[in-house]
Amino acid sequence: MVLYKGITLQTACFFYMLFFSTAILAQQPADFVNPFIGTSNFGATFPGPIAPRGMASISPFNVSGSQNRPLEKDSQWLSNPYVNENKFLTGFSQVNLSGVGCPDLGVILVMPTTGIVETNHLKYGSTYSNEVAKTAYYGLNIDKYNVKAEFTASKRVGVSKFTFPKGQSNILLNLGLGLTNEEGAMVRVVSSTEIEGMRSVGSFCYNSPEDAYPVYFVAKFSKPADKFGVWKKPAKYKGVEAQWMGYNGKARMMENTIKTVVGDSIGSYFRYNFEKEETVEVKIGISYVSIENARENLEKEVGTKSFDAVYKETYNEWNEELSKILVEGGSKDENTIFYTALYHTLIHPNILNDFNGEYPEIKRSKIGKTDDTRYTVFSLWDSYRNLHQLMSLVYPKQQSDMVKSMLEMYDENGWLPKWELNSTETFTMVGDPASIVITDTYLKGIRDFDVQKAYTAMLKGADQIENNPLRQGLKDYIEKGYLTTNDRGPVSTTQEYNASDYSISLLAKALGKTKDANRLKKRSLSYKKLFDKNLKLLRPRTFDGKWYEPFDPVSGANFQENVGFIEGNAWQYAFMVPHDIKGLMKLMGGEKDFSNQLQKVFDSKQFDMANEPDIAYPYLFNYIKGEEFKSQEMVKKLVKEYFQNKPKGLPGNDDTGTMSAWLVYSMMGIYPIAPGEPIYTITTPMFDKITIALDAPYYKNKSIVIEREKNKEGHIKAIQLDGKAHNSFFISHDEFVNGTTLKIIQN
Amino acid sequence: MVLYKGITLQTACFFYMLFFSTAILAQQPADFVNPFIGTSNFGATFPGPIAPRGMASISPFNVSGSQNRPLEKDSQWLSNPYVNENKFLTGFSQVNLSGVGCPDLGVILVMPTTGIVETNHLKYGSTYSNEVAKTAYYGLNIDKYNVKAEFTASKRVGVSKFTFPKGQSNILLNLGLGLTNEEGAMVRVVSSTEIEGMRSVGSFCYNSPEDAYPVYFVAKFSKPADKFGVWKKPAKYKGVEAQWMGYNGKARMMENTIKTVVGDSIGSYFRYNFEKEETVEVKIGISYVSIENARENLEKEVGTKSFDAVYKETYNEWNEELSKILVEGGSKDENTIFYTALYHTLIHPNILNDFNGEYPEIKRSKIGKTDDTRYTVFSLWDSYRNLHQLMSLVYPKQQSDMVKSMLEMYDENGWLPKWELNSTETFTMVGDPASIVITDTYLKGIRDFDVQKAYTAMLKGADQIENNPLRQGLKDYIEKGYLTTNDRGPVSTTQEYNASDYSISLLAKALGKTKDANRLKKRSLSYKKLFDKNLKLLRPRTFDGKWYEPFDPVSGANFQENVGFIEGNAWQYAFMVPHDIKGLMKLMGGEKDFSNQLQKVFDSKQFDMANEPDIAYPYLFNYIKGEEFKSQEMVKKLVKEYFQNKPKGLPGNDDTGTMSAWLVYSMMGIYPIAPGEPIYTITTPMFDKITIALDAPYYKNKSIVIEREKNKEGHIKAIQLDGKAHNSFFISHDEFVNGTTLKIIQN
């Protein structure tokens, strides 16, 4: 074998493997992911590395400092650690939320610097260049220090790799600065290669401050520090004694100490004096249970593996997950937005349990233990609409574990989750969406959970009038059929309860509980009492039953507060009765009037692609025979307009993957139009061929293919399932997954 | 055996033993201790329980809240957790300093309450009644809650016993409120019977804030809590986001949580619902190393022992220590002030090492381990004068371990200690007193330490001009013989260095290092350059050698700041050259002038019994033949005037036992007049007979007795050692400890 002079066989093989794998992987789904998508336009995603459903993740943190205004975290409501157009970087946070609407996590900031130790982030911060973001990898150059910083992550461990120039270098671990509104941290240098500690987070959406909780961590460094230390900047004391405190309010530098330090504004630093360019890898294990578990997570999951090894493993894991759907015939941009969307649906819910199975139970009064996976970050008001439906189809084992996690929460807390975040119930948004998700899962044949318990839990949420944390205004809802203007967002909330009640009625029916089924089905139609025949819209009523006056159907768009609706207006909610579109049609005066009113939403620009209540609207034309082409056109138009291969390429907040799930389904040509019901509606796929893997034991077929005819741009003229005509724009989940090929034939 | 109906043999035996032991113990030294002495008049002692040289101690905490003004901790410089005349109690602190001049420790406050949980100490605080304080025991009734609270302690564990009335009761663990000026704590409820955490303390005397350090603790409760929780009152947030924080600045109650909570104002509560009167015991283990060590300290030292068992053990330990000196012929008050003083000399220095031998090294860059005892709290500017001399005589093993601890500090830090507090060097006060203590110990025959290392350490402090943290102004001192007004307290500091240099010269001589001995002896007399012949006082000089003007010899009394002296004035320092009284006498013009000048200090009321510089003055008349009676009269007068069996019964701050050591020696009729030199001067004992145990292997005799003739009040007319005339008012340590009886014969 001929080798270049000075290159060993080992090195040669390494490059060969690298080339080989790169060559192969260039065609792989994971290579299409562009983590910058959603990092602008309030998409609230982050570009840094994370493993599928990882607990740990690394995000560049560039939302602090006046240089970053207006998208500066302390000057407005800002829910992301990174904004693509910002320029001033102050570290790399080790736990992050993706696509949420409130600031939280974004803590444990690592930052490499050079020269003397500066602990004030406004002073040590820097601009950066040469950003690279791809699956499981993020890298950049930090201009001020000429340091190259690269990042990857396993499920519970973030791995940073810093290439320092010759000279004095520092790695800061800033436990003060963070995206969360909580403060408070603890740190202890264990040795010259290890730091442990915790950081308080919580008060998500400025709620439930009493549930604020710790993220524990252990950081291991590949090279022992020459010097280390801890800093603390205490609050300024204002009493009589201040006269004797020459140090009052000043930062304290504590060198070479192994004591435990607590405070709101603290951190630790490792110092190196390099005689030549050197790299240091920092591995940070995370746990929501304890420092010991964080250490075990680090050791068992990463141990002595190199940065490159971790990167490769996580890349492969992603590629395997993303390959569950193989698309053919798309452009590079189409592939990119599709796989990035799928990637975004595989971030939350994420694992909460440690390597040893332990996790904090809801309310943190106990440590639980699981043999499966305990999931967390359930933004159910968002995700009940399509994300869990995507999981049930493509990742049924994950969806099953998610349902089991929800039932564990019920065991721990007495209630199903609503917006659960790291074992805190944040009670964000309205409605009682867990029932819809569980019913949907069960009716799709994923049944390896305790459905009786689930059913009991659902009924408790639906029927317990007193002290019910899930359903505010339930008494009015049951007695009057609707919430009144005495409650927040009474129309929206009534609609949400209707949808949940319908799902519960479906499950009741499946379980043979006919009486409950009938009772709840009836309840699910009570939205009709809010239907104003003159406006052909739903409209809030006051406690005494009168229409709320003055009423402006347009008010409430763009997240303005308004009486009647939550994050939306009358137009954006008018059609949100997915379980009773036929009934609504009747109310509106039939197909024609329904169609006109629906079209009006789009024509009057009341349709909001950026929020959930109306995201199924584009598909509603499918309910009107002969107007299905309108859905096909509308979906295509919206995808083109709002979903693009660029940082602004999401219509708005990704809502923990809900927007992305909408895109994945929409590009595949099917959509779970009625959450809770195992049914899809059909539109034109955006690829020639889509192969969806179907996992045993949940599905008997290995895969299902969706095909469209190549080079056709026209409306759908026929649909075939396994070669036979399928004379409907709707298809049940069972029909679909038991088929082999769903063929969409266009004009 | 006839027993009362219903009383078992076991119970009867218990009462018998109790009676028996009480009857016996009524005569025991430990029964004479009145822990209230020094709890007023800024004595800064505390009345709660502590074991001899204990790390843990419990003090009622009554220095917070406007009810306690003017002696309220936040409204003035106040260095004690308890003031006898205060009335508003807010808890019981679990680590405390005794007789120091700056606020520190006084943290981990336990407080029993009833009714709803109130966490604001200004609201939950109460008056109290029926205070009882005795050796190893403190108890009172908490008026507001009708709770009886009792306390005892072992070396590293505080034990509280609360007797609650029927109903809802609470035990609070307040980690916010504290005497220290530091803030920051961490707490975690481990189970319904256990809490762990830490509290930051430090910045002693408003110095060295970067050395602030944690006290770790584990609290175990004898009854499982019905409910428990943690509270946190965060700082009020002032930014834009405050508008969304309905909870801003409010205390958060976190029920039944086992999460770690950190913050400046946090605490934990245990709740009980008692159907009848019930007691709960709380055992709190302390460690300066780790929570694990605090737990081990608790388990190994106390474990399942009852309150009474712990009390008894600690009582017995005290009694054994105090019985090293047995006095006869004193009144109850005399016995009380004597044994209370001896008790106060056995509090600091205290143990720092955990049960397993671990302790934080100086600067907390390592955890050390000892097989002996690592001592801490060395207020050497105070204690070099007489306290360590008392230890060398009566507790030589302890003194040996104290010297070893000082040498360990040198190993860890590169310097001998000056004012060491829990492994931080506070650099409080001036001088370089460790050399004096070590020399004194060595010359008294306690030599089981590395004297060569000690000598090297002393010389480093004495000679290293640059970066010498012990001796400020050393360059001037060496070049000019004195510090100038460019430095703080130049006259006092020169005197301190003289005294240290003299001690080092003594040790040099003993080690055969003649050259050093001569050099340092010469240096030790440089105070003479500050002697103003006109005033017959020492006086500060400016950098160019001129007398500092204007000069007021009286200025500086009562702790006023003044140029020239530290905590004193020219009169209070004029005679503080204990190693060269003969030389000073010559300077002053001979015995007569010396005597007149000395008498003037007392006559002009410049003598300050409450501070160290002049505390040997009363004994200086012994240097003048024929005037020894003046010392006898003066010492007697001062004891009577300043040392009494009442809270105000110390002249001022006990200075970690230095004032008490003065009393112990003074009442025994001997005083270590020249620190560093193994010599005592003699005055009239205040008991008929004093038997001092002499411990092997340091001493060959088992004890030495000091006798005075009964019923005599006159001046000393003769002194006999073992029946032979001792024709001097001075006696060497060797002569003394090798004797059997020192008899003082009075007119």
Beta-strand pair B367-369/A266-274:
unpaired
**Three-state secondary-structure class, residue A141:** strand
pLDDT of residue A26: 53
pLDDT in tens, B525-576: 999 999 999 999 999 999 999 999 999 998 877 777 789 999 999 999 999 9
pLDDT at A604 over 60: yes
DSSP string for residues in A82-120: --TT---B--EEEE--SS-SS----EEEEEEEESS----
Instruction: Report the DSSP beta bridge partners of residue A471.
Output: none
pLDDT in tens, A263-315: 999 999 999 999 999 999 999 999 999 999 999 999 999 999 999 999 999 99
Residue B363: closest CA among chain A residues belongs to which residue?
A257
B262 to A200: CB separation less than 8 angstroms, yes or no: yes
pLDDT at B174 over 80: yes
Q: Which range, of A83-87, A205-209, A509-513, A718-722, averages the lowest pLDDT? A: A205-209
What CA–CA distance (Å, rounded) separates A507 from A513? 8
What CA–CA distance (Å, rounded) separates A520 from A515? 9
Among candidate residues B568, B658, B573, the one with its CA nearest the CA of residue B380: B658
- What residues of B are in contact with residue A210 (Cβ under 8 Å)? 252-254
Average pLDDT (B592-600) is 97
Cβ within 8 Å of residue B479, ≥6 positions away: none
* Shortest Cα distance, chain B CAs vs residue A485, angstroms: 22
What CA–CA distance (Å, rounded) separates A371 from A357? 6
pLDDT of residue A555: 86
B214 to A247: CB separation less than 8 angstroms, yes or no: no
- On the 0-12 / 13-18 / 19+ scale of CB atoms within 10 A, B4 is exposed
- What residues of A are in contact with residue B209 (Cβ under 8 Å)? 234, 245, 247, 252
Q: Structure tokens of A666? A: 């929409």
User: CB neighbours (10 Å) of residue A366?
Assistant: 14
User: CB neighbours (10 Å) of residue A476?
Assistant: 20
Q: B6: pLDDT confidence band, cut at 50, 70 and 90? A: very low
**Does B183 contact chain A (CB < 8 Å)?**
yes
pLDDT of residue B427: 87
For chain B, which domains are there?
A: 1-31 (no CATH), 33-320 (2.70.98.10), 323-746 (3.30.2080.10)
pLDDT in tens, B363-393: 999 999 999 999 999 999 999 999 999 999 9
pLDDT at B24 over 90: no
pLDDT in tens, B203-225: 999 999 999 999 999 999 999 99
A210 to B253: CB separation less than 8 angstroms, yes or no: yes
Percent of chain A with pLDDT over 90: 92
The structure tokens 């000056």 sit at B418
pLDDT of residue A202: 96
What CA–CA distance (Å, rounded) separates A566 from B462? 77
What CA–CA distance (Å, rounded) separates B607 from B614? 7
pLDDT in tens, B390-428: 999 999 999 999 999 999 999 999 999 999 999 999 988
Q: One-letter amino acid identity for B727? A: N
Q: Structure tokens of A53? A: 């459903």
Average pLDDT (B157-168) is 98
pLDDT in tens, B726-744: 999 999 999 999 999 999 9
Average pLDDT (A365-375) is 97
Among candidate residues A182, A260, A107, A251, the one with its CA nearest the CA of residue B235: A182
For an interface test with B, give the residue of A365, A422, A424, A561 to mutate (most B CBs within 10 A). Answer: A365
For an interface test with A, give the residue of B210, B293, B359 to mutate (most A CBs within 10 A). Answer: B210
Average pLDDT (A391-407) is 98
pLDDT at B671 over 90: yes
**Does B647 contact chain A (CB < 8 Å)?**
no
CA angle, B670 as apex, B667 and B676 as ends, to 5°? Answer: 130
**Does B243 contact chain A (CB < 8 Å)?**
no
Residue A239: closest CA among chain B residues belongs to which residue?
B74
B261 to A200: CB separation less than 8 angstroms, yes or no: yes
User: CB neighbours (10 Å) of residue A369?
Assistant: 14
pLDDT in tens, B424-474: 999 889 999 999 999 999 999 999 999 999 999 999 999 999 999 999 999
ipTM of this predicted structure: 0.92
Average pLDDT (A631-650) is 98
A261 to B237: CB separation less than 8 angstroms, yes or no: no
pLDDT of residue B26: 53
- On the 0-12 / 13-18 / 19+ scale of CB atoms within 10 A, B733 is buried
pLDDT in tens, A504-545: 999 999 999 999 999 999 999 999 999 999 999 999 999 999
What CA–CA distance (Å, rounded) separates B455 from B422? 24
Residue A232: closest CA among chain B residues belongs to which residue?
B210
The structure tokens 């500091």 sit at B493
Whether B88 contacts B127, CB under 8 Å? yes
Q: Structure tokens of B306? A: 């009852």
pLDDT of residue B447: 98
Residue B266: closest CA among chain A residues belongs to which residue?
A184
pLDDT in tens, A500-514: 999 999 999 999 999
What CA–CA distance (Å, rounded) separates B315 from B307? 12
Q: In whole numbers, what is the pLDDT of chain B averaged over residues?
A: 95
What CA–CA distance (Å, rounded) separates A608 from A614? 7
**Does A202 contact chain B (CB < 8 Å)?**
no
What CA–CA distance (Å, rounded) separates A372 from A600? 48
Greatest CA separation for chain A: 90
Q: In whole numbers, what is the pLDDT of chain A averaged over residues?
A: 95
